[in-house]
């Protein structure tokens, strides 16, 4: 597992004040992974003419998984 995945795992823990404990939120983790993938899509070097295509791919991936991050 690489460092970025570890960071996303850490971000996926939610603190519950009522029980003074933390729990792993699987849905949040999944959303963070999809958002990270969408970010990588846009950071991939492409020719200027392909930029719109990259935006459409990113939006399609996020929409497919219902992620709004």
The mean pLDDT values, 10 residues at a time, for the chain of 69 residues are: 91 91 95 94 89 92 87
Tell me what pLDDT residue 16 has. Answer: 87
Tell me what pLDDT residue 69 has. Answer: 67
Check: pTM over 0.75? Answer yes or no: yes
- What tokens were used for 18? 């009522």
Tell me what pLDDT residue 68 has. Answer: 81
Q: What's the CA gap between 38 and 60, in Å, rounded?
A: 9
Tell me what pLDDT residue 19 has. Answer: 87
The residue among 34, 36, 39 whose CA lies nearest residue 63 is 34
Tell me what pLDDT residue 67 has. Answer: 86
44 with 58: CB under 8 angstroms? no
């Amino acid at each position: 597992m690489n460092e970025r995945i570890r960071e996303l795992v850490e971000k996926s823990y939610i603190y519950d004040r009522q029980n003074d404990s933390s729990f792993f939120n699987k849905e949040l983790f999944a959303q963070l992974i999809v958002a990270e993938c969408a970010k990588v899509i846009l950071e991939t070097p492409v020719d200027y003419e392909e930029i719109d295509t990259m935006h459409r791919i990113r939006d399609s991936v996020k929409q497919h998984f219902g992620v709004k991050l």
